[in-house]
Every structure is written in C-alpha cells, then in structure tokens.
Amino acid sequence: MNDVVARLEQVRNNIASAEDEASRTAGSVTLVAVSKTFEAAAIVPVIEAGQRIFGENRVQEAQGKWPALKEAYPGVELHLIGPLQSNKAKEAVALFDVIETVDREKIAAELAKEIARQGKAPRLYVQVNTGSEAQKAGVDPREAVAFVNRCRDAHGLAIEGLMCIPPIDENPGPHFALLEKLAHEAGLDKLSMGMSGDYELAIAFGATSVRVGSAIFGER
C-alpha cells in the first residue's frame, strides 16, 4: 500500500478512537485533508482511497490543480483554509465549496456580492484569532459574536461555524475551549479546529471538522 494511503488510514482510525473516547457519535467528525504544496499526482491516491474533502490555503495554488481534479472526481469538496484577499473573492466563490476564513467586513461584503452574482454559495466559517496574535488572521475573540451577527444581518451571509489556528507555542486546549464557547454564544454548531499535532485533542473539545495535512501527505 502507498505510504500516503497508509497514513490516511491511520488518521481515520485515530479520529474514530478520539470520537469514541470523547463519547462522540462515530463519524461525527469530518476529516479535511490539507493538500497545500502537494501536486495533483500526490493527491490522486488519497482521493482514490475514498477521501473527498480537501483543504487548500491559497486561492491561486488551488486554481492550478483543483479544477481538473474536481472534473475527474465528482463529489470532491474543497475548503479554503487560508487568508482571503478581497480581490480574490470572485475566484474563491467559483472554486471552493467551503470558505473557512471570513474575518472582516470587506471580505463579507465581497463574498455577498459574488454569491449573488454567481448564484453559487459556498458554506462559510468565521476565523477567530483565539490567541489575539498580531500577525495572525481572524477576528478578535471579543468581536467574534458581533461579527457573525453582522455577516448575517448586514450582508445576508449564512455562517455555518467558527475556525481557529491556536498559537504555535501554546497548549491548544484553552483555544479550542474558547472557540467552542464563542460558537455556542453565536448559535453555531460547527467547529473547524485541530491539525496534525492536535486533532485528537480538538475532537475532545468538540471539533466537528479537523484539518490534517502533514500527518497524511508527509512533511512539507
């Protein structure tokens, strides 16, 4: 068996164990396989092994490989998990099924415009900068609930959940707990949190989807 397929299988098993340990329903956590920096040839075996949900962090890179893969493998679902510039909203709405990184008014407005224009509405998550890190994308936790409400009320956008990337050098647990609390306050039940190093912990804190790259595809 291909290495990448063996690692995918391992991640799936770990997710199932983490669901079980957290008394979560089997199959309630969605695996988003993060294929950024990997070429189509490396992604195909993972699709053929049954994985259908993928994450990319750059619009332009995704445009280079995913239109052909989506054509070849109907049913593939693509998530944007990296920062979105407002001048890329058009391309992002056209290509992605889920955009996880809505984090400012201008993006919300551009997405609303493109969704109306294209008649195609990706599902949307608001990214929260749970560590309030200066260099990191995402809304400040204190602004998150109000921002979700403004997306709905001012821009007519249906927000499905929240997403976070905890600070690299901190215990992620409190960040996962904060995201869960904010989602509850905002009336949302989807939580995108957990990466290769901490997806099992994220599941214990209520993640409904985990974004796993290197544990499947190998080091970048």
Ligand X SMILES: *Cc1c(COP(=O)(O)O)cnc(C)c1O
Binding mask 148-187 for ligand X (x = CB under 6 A): -----------------x----------------------
Identify the residue among 54, 66, 82, 98 touching ligand X (CB under 6 A). 82
- φ and ψ of 154, to 5 deg: -90, -30
Q: Between residues 69 and 137, which has the closer beta carbon with respect to ligand X?
A: 137
- Residue identified by tokens 């995402």 is 138
Do β-strands 209-212 and 30-34 pair in parallel, antiparallel, or remain unpaired?
parallel
Identify the residue among 12, 36, 113, 123 touching ligand X (CB under 6 A). 36
Q: Between residues 31 and 112, which has the closer beta carbon with respect to ligand X?
A: 31
Residue 195 in contact with ligand X, rule: CB under 6 A:
yes
- 178 closest CA partner among 206, 150, 156: 206
CB of 86 to ligand X, least distance (A): 19
b/e for 83-112, b at 16 or more Cβ within 10 A? bbebebbbbbbebbbbbbbbbbeebbbbbb
Residue 129 in contact with ligand X, rule: CB under 6 A:
no
**What is the spatial distance between Cα 87 and Cα 59, in angstroms, rounded to a whole number?**
11
| Part in contact with ligand X (CB under 6 A); list of ranges 131-139, 153-161, 180-188, 205-213 | 205-213
Q: Between residues 57 and 130, which has the closer beta carbon with respect to ligand X?
A: 57
Q: Between residues 51 and 112, which has the closer beta carbon with respect to ligand X?
A: 51
Residue 196 in contact with ligand X, rule: CB under 6 A:
yes
In 52-187, beta strands by DSSP E: 53-56, 77-80, 98-102, 123-128, 159-164
CB of 219 to ligand X, least distance (A): 8
CB of 146 to ligand X, least distance (A): 23
**What is the spatial distance between Cα 211 and Cα 192, in angstroms, rounded to a whole number?**
7
Residue 30 in contact with ligand X, rule: CB under 6 A:
no
Identify the residue among 29, 33, 34, 203 touching ligand X (CB under 6 A). 34
Contact (Cβ atoms closer than 8 angstroms) between residue 95 and residue 66: yes
**What is the spatial distance between Cα 33 and Cα 90, in angstroms, rounded to a whole number?**
24
CB of 211 to ligand X, least distance (A): 4
- CB count in 10 Å sphere of residue 136: 17
Chain residues that interact with ligand X, rule: CB under 6 A: 34, 36, 57, 81-82, 165, 195-197, 211-215
